[in-house]
Amino acid sequence: MNLEKVIFGFFIVLAATLNFGFFIGDIERPELHHIYELAAALVVSLIATALKFGDRTQIGAIHLSTSLVADLQLIAAAITWAVAVHVTGEGMTPSVMSSVVSLSGGALFANIVSVIILIVETVMMRR
Amino acid sequence: MNSAFFLVLRRMRAPIIGLIVIYAIAVVGLTLVPGITPEGLPAPPLSFFHAFYFISYTATTIGFGEIPNAFSDAQRMWVIICIYLTVVGWSYSVVTLIGLLQDKGFQNTLTTNRFRRRVRLLKEPFYLVCGSGETGALISRNFDRVNQPFVVLEKDELRVQELDLQDFKSDIPALAADARIPDNLLLAGLKHLKCHGVLAVTNDEEANLGIAIAVRLLNPKIPVIARARSPVVMANMASFGTNHIVNPYERFAEHLALAVASPSRFRLIELLTSLPETPIPKPHRPPGGRWILCGYGRFGKALAEHLLPTGITLTIIDPTSAESDQNITGHGTEARTLLQAGIEQASGIIAGTDDDVNNLSIAVTASELKPDLFVVTRQNQTANSPLFDAYGADFNMVPSHIVAQECIAILTTPLLAQFLTRLRDHDEAWSQSLVDRLQNLYDGLTPTVWGIRLNKQEAPAACQALMDGQSFSLRDILRNGMDRSEPLPAIALLLERANHFILLPDEDFKLAAGDQLLLASPLSTRHNLEFSLKNANELAYVLRGEENSGGWLWQTLRRS
């Protein structure tokens, strides 16, 4: 067993699961999507990205790119949230909530791709 | 770029993850701790947005204060923890980054990448100079002076740094790397489309050999010029087709023998192959008769081989060589030894050991014994130039100068070799008249010898004019582009047309497209003439005195 692989897999799967946890639920209802879940998903996703730094293989490059996509989507969701609450003062209306959740949905897709690559990589592994 | 970028990412992985975790803890903590209103009533904790804002300016030690409201004591307690956590996190990242930037390996990667990029971006034909010792530096300086781009590979990092500090006109791509390694040669643009030749002029014979064979195998199309000292290495280089092998000892011996046998022809060769725009060397007139040769190594042997056929008899002084005169003891640095060798009857002496101090000592002692002796000195180190200049030998041999001169002459003017081989058919009077013309060309400085082909690339305007049926002679184009009543100070040495060579073509010689010319002139004349041959408007002025403006509209208006 390789501790590095454990940590790597842990963060990638955790990023996907947290993202999924935030995403699941009626898209318009703020009470079903807690901000802490979004924060946790974002932080874990950032850590997963940092873990992927410096791998020069082809698979490593795709890993990194999917993670960057997820980060981008989650940061966009967080900014949308902050703008709605603090800048425009509009609050979490159904339309704002649905755009935040759909952005996180995009991130979820990237995270799923990331998990699939992880699985493919594991299957290909010969040692 | 890529490898350096990935290296940074890999090294920064731990500090970045650390920072993310610390930020997450700090921000989440702030969103949980309750705040207080200005009236002292409990208020809800900061939102994520405000928490992140606060941590961002606190962690980076900007510290705007407690925004938006004054904090509660509970919040302040948490902020104390956050401050220490984040400062540690940032310091760790910054220290790691600085450590990485100071890392020798990382800096090497950066310089190599920069070098690779600069070589790749070279647009003009360039030469690859391997070795930046005395010879390499001399070649570099002269290339720089004639605006010839080049790339330098040198093993010694200090020398590369010196190269950066010298005031070259252009910025030279130079890398501290071993040129014997083929990868480094490729990095320096061996297979670059614009690489027009390689000069292997390191101090190490084996390295020069290695470079020569690498060039032969990796890019057989381009010429390689290698410096060699021993006959074995020369033969080895010749065996796989090194284009030109420069052996300074052989070359000097040839020159000295030529100076004895036919001084005017030697003088002509000396003028044409010396470094351009340097003071004209004083003429050497070595006498025949009996000479004393001190030092019988590779240099001494080469000298003996070339001097004996000219009718000179040699007395060799060398304590270690079997071929030397066994009755004479010592190096030749003492008067006793020189007297034993018969300095009273000798007409010349060669101080040719591999030790500069000994050579000077021999020369000074010999001049004291017999002031009218012709003294030839061998100078091994450029650094000793002031000593040799102060002594002022009749003929001083500096190996690095000989190699540099020959490399530059061959590379910059391929026609020059053709010219020099054709000299043998002419007598001394012919050479002397040409020497006189060359010496009067440029006050006290040696001329630049250069070639130009009247084709689309090198002289588009002249080529087009000739193809359009215009006819002009050498005299017509050798005119100053600023004032055509003034002739340009230049001598056409050789003209090549379809592999036929015409030595010293007449001023009235009619030119044709595709002709290749070898000219001797000052550098400024070269620029003047090149510009006239390249620019159609300038050419029209030089040939016919017409002042054309370039525009199509203006020309049409004038014609109508």
Rounded CA separation B93/B20 (Å): 11
Q: Which CATH architecture has domain B2-102?
A: Orthogonal Bundle (1.10)
Q: How many C-beta atoms lie closer than 10 Å to residue B282's C-beta? A: 9
Cite the DSSP H helix spans in B38-170: 48-59, 73-102, 104-120, 134-145, 157-165
Domain spanning B447-556: which superfamily? Regulator of K+ conductance, C-terminal domain (3.30.70.1450)
Sequence-separated (6 or more) residues with CB below 8 Å from residue A113:
A66
CB contact under 8 A, A47 and B47: no
CB contact under 8 A, A86 and B47: yes
Specify the pLDDT at position B512.
86
Please answer yes or no on whether B48 and A39 come within 8 Å at the CB atom: yes
- pLDDT score, position B78: 92
Chain B hits for A36, CB-CB cut-off 8 Å, are 28, 31
The minimal CB distance from A54 to the residues B13, B27, B31 is found for B13
Estimate the crossing angle of helix A58-82 against helix B48-59, to 10 degrees. 120
The reply to whether residue B20 touches residue A43, judged by beta carbons under 8 angstroms, is yes
Residue B1 has pLDDT above 50, yes or no: no
> Fold identical between B123-246 and B279-413?
yes
Query: Are B9 and A54 an interchain contact pair (Cβ–Cβ within 8 Å)?
Result: yes
In chain B, what are the domain boundaries?
2-102, 123-246, 279-413, 447-556
Residue in B10, B21, B28 nearest the CB of A54? B10
Q: Which residue in A35, A43, A53 is closest to B9 by CB distance?
A: A53
Q: Is B127 exposed, middle or buried (0-12, 13-18, 19+ CB in 10 A)?
A: buried
Q: What integer pLDDT is reported at residue B277 of this predicted model?
A: 80
Say how many residues make up chain B: 560
Contact B277, B445 (CB under 8 A): yes
Give A37→chain B minimum CA distance, Å.
11
- Under an 8 A CB cutoff, do A39 and B28 touch? yes
State the distance between the two ends of chain B, measured CA to CA, in whole angstroms: 59
Could you tell me what percent of chain B has a pLDDT over 70?
96
Single-letter residue type at B196 = H
The long-range contacts involving B273-276, CB below 8 angstroms and separated by at least 24 positions, are: B273/B405, B273/B406, B273/B409, B273/B416, B273/B420, B273/B449, B274/B405, B274/B446, B275/B138, B275/B142, B275/B401, B275/B404, B275/B405, B275/B408, B275/B446, B276/B142, B276/B145, B276/B146, B276/B408, B276/B446, B276/B447, B276/B448, B276/B449, B276/B523
> Which site among A7, A42, A47 would you substitute to test the B interface, given the most B Cβ atoms closer than 10 Å to its Cβ?
A47
pLDDT in tens, B173-201: 889 888 888 999 998 988 998 888 899 98
Tokens found for residue B114: 């920069």
Of A53, A78, A85, the CB nearest to B12: A53
Residues 29-68 of A with CB under 8 A from B: 35-36, 39, 43, 46-47, 50-51, 53-54, 56
Nearest to A50 among B17, B24, B48 (CB): B17
Contact B6 A54 (CB under 8 A): yes
Q: What one-letter code names the amino acid at B293?
A: L
Q: Going by DSSP bridges, is the β-strand pair B448-453/B500-503 parallel, antiparallel, or unpaired?
A: unpaired
Best mutation target, A18, A33, A56, to test chain B (most B CBs within 10 A): A56
The C-alpha atoms of residue B531 and residue B534 are separated, in whole angstroms, by: 5
Residues 69-98 of A with CB under 8 A from B: 78, 81-82, 85-86
Q: Which of A39, A50, A81 sits opposite B16 (nearest CB)?
A: A50
pLDDT of B540: 82
Instruction: Judge: A53–B13 Cβ closer than 8 Å, yes or no.
Output: yes
The residues near B238 (Cβ < 8 Å, ≥ 6 apart) are: B245
How many CA atoms are closer than 13 Å to the CA of B320, on its beta-carbon side? Answer: 5
DSSP B445: B
- Express each pLDDT in B408-462 by its tens digit: 877 777 788 788 888 878 888 888 888 888 888 877 888 888 888 888 888 888 8
Is the pLDDT score of B212 beyond 70? yes
What is the number of residues in chain A? Answer: 127
Residue A68 has pLDDT above 90, yes or no: yes
User: What's the rounded Cα separation, in Å, for the pair B212 and B208?
Assistant: 6
Verify whether the Cβ–Cβ distance B49 to A82 is below 8 Å: yes
CB B153 within 8 A of CB B185: yes
Chain B contact for A14 (CB, 8 A cutoff): no
Q: Which residue has the tokens 């699985």?
A: A119
For residue B48, which residues of chain A lie inside 8 Å, CB to CB?
35, 39, 78, 81-82
Could you read off the pLDDT of B130-155 as tens digits, one per residue? 988 888 888 888 888 878 889 999 98
> At residue B386, does pLDDT exceed 80?
yes
The token duo for B81 is 């923890």
More confident residue, B313 or B550: B313
* Contact residues on chain A for B47, CB-CB shorter than 8 A: 82, 85-86
Closest chain B C-alpha to A91 CA, distance in angstroms? 13
Closest CA to B538 of B459, B467, B429: B459
User: Minimal Cα distance from B5: which residue of A?
Assistant: A54
The answer, as to whether pTM is greater than 0.80, is: no
Q: Which CATH number fits domain B123-246: 3.30.360.10, 4.10.91.20, 1.10.1740.10, 3.40.50.720?
A: 3.40.50.720
Question: Which of A40-49, B66-75, B161-170, B544-553 reaches the highest mean pLDDT?
Answer: A40-49
Q: Is the dihedral of CA B314, B315, B319, B323 positive or negative?
A: positive
Question: B71: closest CA among B103, B37, B107?
Answer: B37
* DSSP code per residue over A67-95: HHHHHHHHHHHHHHHHIIIIIS---S-HH
Nearest by CB to A50, which of B7, B20, B31?
B20
Q: Are A39 and B6 in contact (CB < 8 Å)?
A: no
Q: What share of chain A is helix, strand, coil (3-state, %, to 5)?
A: 80, 0, 20
- φ/ψ of B121, rounded to 5, equals -85, 0
Q: Under a CB-based contact definition with an 8 Å cutoff, are residues B244 and B399 in contact?
A: no
Q: Do A54 and B20 touch (CB under 8 A)?
A: no
C-beta separation of B353 from B295 below 8 A: yes
Q: What CA–CA distances, in Å, run from B169 to B63, B149, B251?
A: 49, 11, 31
B469: which residues sit within 8 A by CB, 6+ positions away?
A: none
Across the interface, whether the CB atoms of A78 and B24 are under 8 A apart is answered no
Residue numbers in A near B1 (CB within 8 A):
none
The per-residue pLDDT for B559 is 66
Tell me how close the Cα of B78 comes to any Cα of chain A, in angstroms.
Answer: 18
Task: Return the CATH class of domain B279-413.
Answer: alpha beta
Q: Determine the residue of chain B that is closest to A79 in CA distance.
A: B49
**What percent of chain B lies above the pLDDT cut of 90?**
9
Tell me the shortest Cα–Cα distance from B518 to chain A, in angstroms: 54
